[in-house]
């Protein structure tokens, strides 16, 4: 365990997903002198600040100050902060080291006990099912990472035999590149267009995923999607044993599964391959598949009103993810979509909606630059625009008929109208519940 007593640590980006909070608490508990800086004001960070109230933390909110970056002895940047930030450049010019949560975690946790999961789509479901499956087999395991659970917050709680399942975003993987480390077991669900507002092109985005396998060793395990060319290409850059999966794989218990869709079948197949070395019996796998409830905000049923079902897929922040949802949800659909732009292409999603014909009742569009692009590929007269989630749910309920599904699957990011995609999903649930109670 590293000794941080008296070290001046600057946490850049407190955020609302738990990572910045977990990092700040971790360093406070290790005796560091902690400053937290975030461009958001206190009112926007209320829940995170409340969880920090017991600690003596210096807060610099609504701005960043050069002096804080020059005077720190260690800076931990939130994954959402680009590595080329002007303030981080200033810190490096003054010899201040910059790290991320996962760099700290991998420095203190034996990589041999870590199963890492990344991918454009499916990583949350895959990581959560790995954790669920290990639990069914009696293996002590913890789940953390991009799933809104801080990894470093677990360090003091890990048992000596615990397996750690980490969901890792491309941004978090930048830290693994910095330290030249990969998990012993690595899963890549797929690599599809996303975050092109952060990365200059698909090649750069795909490259950001590669640290999950790049530093593996002989005897490690890389679980790769044989049907996704970019993910399959990771086999060329790892020395680990490669195991392939796809949605065509046999998944014990799938016929009774509570989740649906070829993409989810592939997610479970990946998880089963990742845990093969635990020797889990097929009967246990089938029991785990049948009992797995899925992950909130991902094709999550949230209620029924007057014969119309409501499904929350707010984490579908790309056209590919919404396409998968439309290929999974049965029956005529009223789609709530749109939001901020990640510089993605909506053409294929637009063609799918054209092909659906009368099976697509209406598309209710939330405001944002992504909406403007999406609108251009939709059939004329199909869409209506809403200024809020409350209005979107009301319009969708009015357009739906008995037997239809109102599907929140935005194909866009949430920034602007919502704090994040989870806030967007929570508001959807809130207004659906209001419909149910009149």
- pLDDT (tens digit, 9 = 90+) per residue, 294-336? 999 999 999 999 999 999 999 999 999 999 999 999 989 999 9
Whether residue 310 sits in one domain with residue 240: no
Domain assignment present for residue 2? The answer is no
Whether residue 242 sits in one domain with residue 150: yes
Has residue 436 got a pLDDT over 90? no
Domain assignment present for residue 237? The answer is yes
Which domain-ending residue is among 268, 291, 314? 291
Q: At what angle do helices 123-136 and 262-274 cross, to 10 degrees?
A: 50
CA distance 259 to 295: 9
pTM, entire model: 0.94
CA distance 119 to 191: 6
Whether residue 252 sits in one domain with residue 304: no
Domain assignment present for residue 257? The answer is yes
Which domain-ending residue is among 291, 319, 346? 291
Question: Per-residue DSSP letters for 105-118?
Answer: HHHHS-GGGEEEEE
Domain assignment present for residue 148? The answer is yes
CA distance 335 to 339: 13
Whether residue 426 sits in one domain with residue 378: yes
Whether residue 131 sits in one domain with residue 213: yes
Residue 19: pLDDT band by 50, 70, 90 thresholds?
Answer: confident
Domain assignment present for residue 364? The answer is yes
Residue 415: pLDDT band by 50, 70, 90 thresholds?
Answer: confident
Q: Which residues contact 398 (CB under 8 A, 6 or more apart)?
A: none
Whether residue 19 sits in one domain with residue 41: yes
Whether residue 116 sits in one domain with residue 67: no
Domain assignment present for residue 1? The answer is no
What are the tens digits of pLDDT across the range 157-202? 999 999 999 999 999 999 999 999 999 999 999 999 999 999 999 9
- CATH number of the domain encompassing residue 240: 3.40.1190.10
Whether residue 191 sits in one domain with residue 47: no
- CATH number of the domain encompassing residue 318: 3.90.190.20
Whether residue 310 sits in one domain with residue 286: no
pLDDT at 437: 80
Has residue 407 got a pLDDT over 80? yes
Residue 327 carries which DSSP code? T
CB 100 within 8 A of CB 79: yes
Which domain-ending residue is among 65, 99, 133? 99
Beta-sheet strand order (sheet of 360-365): 300-305, 308-312, 405-408, 333-337, 360-365, 383-385
Of the chain, the end-to-end C-alpha distance in Å amounts to: 55
Total domains in the chain come to 3
pLDDT at 2: 86
Domain assignment present for residue 41? The answer is yes
Question: Per-residue DSSP letters for 268-286?
Answer: HHHHHHHTGGG---HHHHH
Q: What angle do CA 429, 294, 270 make, to 5 degrees?
A: 145
Whether residue 308 sits in one domain with residue 400: yes
State which residues form the domain around 25.
8-99
What are the tens digits of pLDDT across the range 77-132? 999 899 899 999 999 999 999 999 999 999 999 999 999 999 999 999 999 999 99
Domain assignment present for residue 376? The answer is yes
Considering all CA atoms of the chain, what is the largest pairwise distance in Å, rounded to the nearest integer? Answer: 65
Whether residue 219 sits in one domain with residue 117: yes
Classify the phi-psi angles of 406: left when phi > 0, otherwise alpha if psi is within -120 to 50, otherwise beta: beta
Nearest residue to 406 via CA among 398, 415, 414: 398
Question: How far is residue 156 from each of residues 35, 76, 124, 160, measured CA to CA in Å?
Answer: 22, 19, 24, 11
Whether residue 392 sits in one domain with residue 352: yes
């Amino acid at each position: 365990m590293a000794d941080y007593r008296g070290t001046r640590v600057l946490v850049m980006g407190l955020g609302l997903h738990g990572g910045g909070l977990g990092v700040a608490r971790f360093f406070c508990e290790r005796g560091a002198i902690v400053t937290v800086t975030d461009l958001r004001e206190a009112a926007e960070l209320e829940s995170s600040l409340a969880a920090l109230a017991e600690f003596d933390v210096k807060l610099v909110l609504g701005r960043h100050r050069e002096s804080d970056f020059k005077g720190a002895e260690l800076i931990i940047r939130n994954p959402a902060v680009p590595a080329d930030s002007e303030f981080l450049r200033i810190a490096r010019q003054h010899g201040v080291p910059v790290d991320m949560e996962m760099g700290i975690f991998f420095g203190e946790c034996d990589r041999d006990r870590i199963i890492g999961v990344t991918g454009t789509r499916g990583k949350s479901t895959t990581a959560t099912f790995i954790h669920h499956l290990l639990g069914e087999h009696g293996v002590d395991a913890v789940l953390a990472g991009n799933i809104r659970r801080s990894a470093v917050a677990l360090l003091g709680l890990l048992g000596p035999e615990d397996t750690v399942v980490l969901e890792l975003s491309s941004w978090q993987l930048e830290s693994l590149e910095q330290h030249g480390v990969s998990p012993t077991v690595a899963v890549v669900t797929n690599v599809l267009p996303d975050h092109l507002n952060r990365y200059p092109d698909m090649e750069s985005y795909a490259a950001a995923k590669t640290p999950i396998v790049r530093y593996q060793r002989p005897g490690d395990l890389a679980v790769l999607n044989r049907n996704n060319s970019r993910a399959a290409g990771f086999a060329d850059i790892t020395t680990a044993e490669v195991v392939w999966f796809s949605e065509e794989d046999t998944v014990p218990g799938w016929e009774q599964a509570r989740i649906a869709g070829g993409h989810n079948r592939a997610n479970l197949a990946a998880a089963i391959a990742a845990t093969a070395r635990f020797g889990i019996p097929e009967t246990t796998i089938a029991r785990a598949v049948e009992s797995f409830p899925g992950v909130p905000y991902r094709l999550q049923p949230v209620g029924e009103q007057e014969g119309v079902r409501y499904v929350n897929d707010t984490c579908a922040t790309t056209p590919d993810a919404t396409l998968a949802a439309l290929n999974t949800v049965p029956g005529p659909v009223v789609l709530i979509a749109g939001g901020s732009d990640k510089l993605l292409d909506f053409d294929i999603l637009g063609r799918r909606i054209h092909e659906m014909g009368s099976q697509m009742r209406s598309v209710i569009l939330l405001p944002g630059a992504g909406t403007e692009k999406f609108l251009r590929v939709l059939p004329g007269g199909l869409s209506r625009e809403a200024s809020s989630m409350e209005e979107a749910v009301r319009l969708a309920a009015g357009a739906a008929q008995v037997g239809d599904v109102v599907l929140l699957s935005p194909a866009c990011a949430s920034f602007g109208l919502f704090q994040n995609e989870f806030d967007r999903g929570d508001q959807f649930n809130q207004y659906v519940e209001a419909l149910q109670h009149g």
